[in-house]
Amino acid sequence: MLLPHGAETFEVLLRQTGERFVCRLGETVLQGMTRLGRKGIPVGCVGGGCGVCRIRIASGVYRRQSPMSREFISSEDECQGIVLACCVSPCSDLAVEVLGKMGRALQAGSAAAKEPSGLFDYLSEKRHGCNAD
């Protein structure tokens, strides 16, 4: 597949939702996924440090572009295709699934992950979307 300017592209299947997105050569999986423009895309630090965008690459060939924190991706994980979406780019079409609570949020079509995260949202449900005046 070619874009008008001739860049090589790959198609990535997001298994949770059946959606497909395009990554240009050299783009990270997360950059492509972000263009879906929907809630629940696991965007964190985009630097491989926070682990928010943990995914499993179920099929396809990919390349690691930048280092991933060992705090979140062990060498065993890497052997199983578990990587951070902000650090890898496709070399072929891919099928991926987002792991952890972000994956479940994605499936539910909501960014409101039900598991604890920072800033105490687990203390009460009422806070979601609440912008007190």
Partner 1 sequence: MGVMRISHVSLRVMDMEAAVRHYENVIGMKVTHRDGAGKVYLKCWDEWDRYSVILTLSDRAGLNHMAYKVETDRDLDLLGARIREAGMAVEVVPAGHLPMCGRALSFRLPTGHQMYLLAQKETIGKDVGDMNPDPWPDDKRGAAAHWLDHCLIYGELNPEKGINRVVETYRFMTEVLDFYLSERVMVGPDSSIMAGAFLFRSCKPHDIAVVGAPTNGFHHLSFFLDDWKDILIAGDVMSKNRVKVELLPSRHGITRGETIYCFDPSGNRNETFAGLGYQAYPDMPVITWTEEHLNRGLFYTSREMIESFRTAYTI
C-beta of 13 vs 33, nearer to partner 1: 33
CB 20 within 8 A of CB 14: yes
CB 22 within 8 A of CB 1: yes
CB 58 within 8 A of CB 13: no
> What mask of x and - would describe binding to partner 1 in positions 72 to 91, judged by CB under 8 A?
x-------------------
Does residue 113 interact with partner 1 by CB under 8 A? yes
With CB under 8 A as the contact rule, the residue among 50, 107, 108, 114 that binds partner 1 is 50
Instruction: Compute the least distance from the CB of residue 93 to partner 1, in Å.
Output: 26
Q: What whole-number distance in Å separates Cα of residue 51 and Cα of residue 53?
A: 6
Instruction: Compute the least distance from the CB of residue 49 to partner 1, in Å.
Output: 2
Q: Report residue 48 as tokens.
A: 């491989």
